[in-house]
Amino acid sequence: MQKISKSRLYELFDAVAAKQDLYIPTDREEGAAEYKKYESGMKLTKELNTVRSAKDFFFPQTENLAEFRLEGKNIEVKDIREECDDFVIFGVRACDAKSFTILDKVFLCEPVDSFYKNRRDHGTVITMACTRPAETCFCKTFGIDPTVPGGDVSCFDDGENIFFLANTEKGEKFVESISAFLEDGDTDKLMEVQTRAREIMGKLPLANLSTGNFGGDKLNEYFNSDKWAELSEACIGCGTCTFVCPTCQCYDIKDFNTGHGIKRFRCWDSCMYSDFTKMAHGNPRLTQLERFRQRFMHKLVYFPANNDGEFGCVGCGRCLAKCPISMNIVKVMKALEAK
Amino acid sequence: MQEAMIKRAKELLADGSVDRVIGWKRGEFAYDITPAVFTSAEELDRDFVCDDFTAANVSKYLVKETQKEGKVLAFLKPCDTYSFNQLVKEHRIDREKVYVIGIEGGPKLDIEKIRAKGITGILGVRNEDYTLKIETIYGTQTMPFYEAVLGKCASCKSKKHVVFDELIGEDGDVLDSNRFEMVEKLENMTAQERFDFWRDQLSKCIRCNACRNVCPACTCENCVFDNPKSGIDNKAPADSFEENMFHIIRAFHVAGRCTDCGECSRVCPQHIPLHLLNRKFIKDINELYGEYQAGADTTSRAPLTDYNKDDCEPSIVHERGVE
């Protein structure tokens, strides 16, 4: 496999960033990483993952969709869409890479979301295999092997070298573009690292969590479960879980009057919020129990029902780490399936 | 202490003094505690926990709990009792429906501070003589207890329970805390430095509303930021102005009512030191209207909702604003 010595990695970043925007996960502060546009001198984080997920690249928290101008009885509608420039994201974990295929099912089905597609078309995703999973990791539950991440190019770290493996046409193009930095490398040590990581995966506290009791056919079994009341009791109705989640994809569309025209924008919404899907007739989910239930039923039942059994979770563990009251999908799954 | 709490809770449930118990429930790991209501001895034995990670302030839940039938037993740490009192003062909690047992406070631990040391795969955390022994998938690690203490506990203002029906353990005193140190540091900055500090911090906001929703002083039935009829509702930090204004407006709204419980900063997924905004107001109130601690009692008039002839004049803003 083609590799680069880790001592030359930042040289490579400099070269890539000279041609197009490159984003890497870097420390914002001790213990908190985020993706930032690479500039010379910036260092990769040692954190396993970023606080915010990589979905922001394709589905940003806010974006303008169109502009309107009113003059007399005329409304001028301005299409503000622009082809975005090519960009590269380095260091995406297997869980986040899988989240893109889940988001694709939502945004690239008919009618195609052109805003999302534009960025998807121009973004090259370079993943990084995991070697030190955390106790909150449970990607294995959703069939993800974090030692072999997806994306356009998969990268593997054997301690001294980074190996590059192209998975797509876009990925091949990228690897070709950096070929001057790459040399053939022996993967013996990498195999050892991979085997060790897989052993750790098997020993994680959530290693045996299974989706076996969930899926599109479980609506009647779980919707009226008496467990929801207890599970949602302490929920404070904030949006932390949904906003750090790599697969949560709900958004709201609103018009903003700038005083000299209207900007139509969309922004992330959260099913945990009291005004989620509020319509002219009112709100279909009046209690926090119903809103809480929506989030987990969506990921564990409704999404697989509509997407050939695919679950709406990738087991990244962000909600486990960040929920102010430590309630999360793992606790919900375990409680629901307990007889 | 946990055992004494469970024993007492069972007694009070058994003799009918209370119908429910609010406390904390253990989770999957050593640290992922969830506030919970217990109704039986079995539930208490199985799930009730009070340890180094039970930092969550349960006072705000009592707004909802006291709207129900029956009486609830609440275990309150010293800091939680201030929030409780303030909510009683604001007529948000029905005092008659709560039996308060004061319990020893922190310092409680912050799992994020342990993680920030690069410690991952955490399976267990033990405090041995103020050294943390942390069991991980990758072996046992150690770190000093005090380096993992929550921000809100590191600047603890009081070990005194300002309200209780009974105590487990001893009551403490109001402390001579260092809690205004960082505020003073910010005050001593130039306006530009201070602006840069807050822009940097507030730009991290993802508008998850965790700070607002956990805040015991934020108990509006419908927040202006959620109400489409308010004209200023918004779900996202669409620009830097909104990022700033959400937090500043919130700080103004809770000024004089914020007890400095520190929950806002504890729950912020982006580690924004939101408590500093509130502490600035507390410090200003202390300086301009005389020492005042929200939640210390349930009867006194708060400086911002009271009038005294020696109150500062509005012109103080201009006088103090001069660089």
Report the residue from B118, B210, B270 with minimal CB separation from A51: B270
Amino acid at A90: F
Spatial contact of A312 and A241, defined as CB atoms under 8 Å apart: no
Residue with tokens 């980074």: A162
Chain A's closest residue to B266, CA to CA, is A324
Report the residue from B136, B210, B269 with minimal CB separation from A51: B269
CB contact, 8 Å: A78 with chain B? no
Report the residue from B117, B210, B222 with minimal CB separation from A240: B210
Mean pLDDT of the region B187-203: 94
Cβ-count burial of A260 within 10 angstroms (0-12 exposed, 13-18 middle, 19+ buried)? exposed
Give me the residues of A, 109-148, that contact B with CB < 8 A: 132-136
Return d(Cα B206, Cα A240) in angstroms, integer: 8
Domain ranges of chain A: 2-203, 219-334
Tell me the pLDDT tens digit for each residue of B255-294: 999 999 999 999 999 999 999 999 999 999 999 999 999 9
Tell me the pLDDT tens digit for each residue of A58-110: 999 999 999 999 888 999 999 999 999 999 999 999 999 999 999 999 999 99
Residues of chain B contacting A238 with CB distance shorter than 8 Å:
208-210, 212-214, 267
Nearest to B213 by CA among B179, B240, B250: B250
Return d(Cα A225, Cα A191) in angstroms, integer: 45
Cβ of B213 within 8 Å of Cβ of A29? The answer is no
Return d(Cα B57, Cα B80) in angstroms, integer: 6
Number of A:B CB contacts under 8 A? Answer: 130
Mean pLDDT of the region B102-130: 95
Tell me the pLDDT tens digit for each residue of B121-176: 999 999 999 999 999 999 999 999 999 999 999 999 999 999 999 999 999 999 98
What's residue A337's pLDDT? 94
The β-bridge partners of A64 are A265
Residue with tokens 């000024």: B255
Cβ of A270 within 8 Å of Cβ of B120? The answer is no
Contacts of A24 (CB under 8 A, 6+ apart): A13, A35, A36, A38, A42, A44, A90, A91
CB contact, 8 Å: B118 with chain A? yes
Return d(Cα B78, Cα B177) in angstroms, integer: 14
Query: Cα angle at A177 between A145 and A25, to 5 degrees?
Result: 50
Residue with tokens 């620009």: B239
User: E strands along chain B, which residues?
Assistant: 20-25, 34-38, 72-76, 98-102, 122-128, 131-136, 139-144, 166-167
Chain B's closest residue to A278, CA to CA, is B228
Query: Cα angle at A331 between A327 and A333, to 5 degrees?
Result: 130
CB contact, 8 Å: B228 with chain A? yes
pLDDT band for B308, please (50, 70, 90 cuts). confident
Amino acid at A327: M
What's residue B231's pLDDT? 78
Cβ of A31 within 8 Å of Cβ of B214? The answer is no
Residues of chain B contacting A269 with CB distance shorter than 8 Å:
235
CB contact, 8 Å: A54 with chain B? no
Return d(Cα A139, Cα A56) in angstroms, integer: 20
Report the residue from B35, B228, B267 with minimal CB separation from A234: B35
Determine the distance in angstroms separating the CA of A198 from the nearest CA of chain B, rounded to an integer.
Answer: 13
Spatial contact of B244 and B205, defined as CB atoms under 8 Å apart: no
Spatial contact of B225 and B213, defined as CB atoms under 8 Å apart: no
- Tell me how long chain B is: 323
- How many other C-beta atoms lie within 10 A of the C-beta of residue B89? 19
Cβ of A61 within 8 Å of Cβ of B269? The answer is no
Residues of chain A contacting B206 with CB distance shorter than 8 Å:
52, 61, 239, 243-244
What's residue A257's pLDDT? 84
What does the DSSP 8-state code read for residue B68? Answer: S
Average pLDDT, chain B: 94
Spatial contact of B275 and B151, defined as CB atoms under 8 Å apart: yes
The percentage of residues in chain A with a pLDDT greater than 90, rounded to a whole number, is 93
- How many other C-beta atoms lie within 10 A of the C-beta of residue B299? 7
- B226 — phi, psi (to 5°)? -105, -5
- Tell me how long chain A is: 339
Determine the distance in angstroms separating the CA of A173 from the nearest CA of chain B, rounded to an integer.
Answer: 34
The β-bridge partners of B143 are B132
Rounded to two decimals, the pTM is 0.94
Spatial contact of B109 and B125, defined as CB atoms under 8 Å apart: yes
Return d(Cα A90, Cα A24) in angstroms, integer: 5
What's residue B323's pLDDT? 54
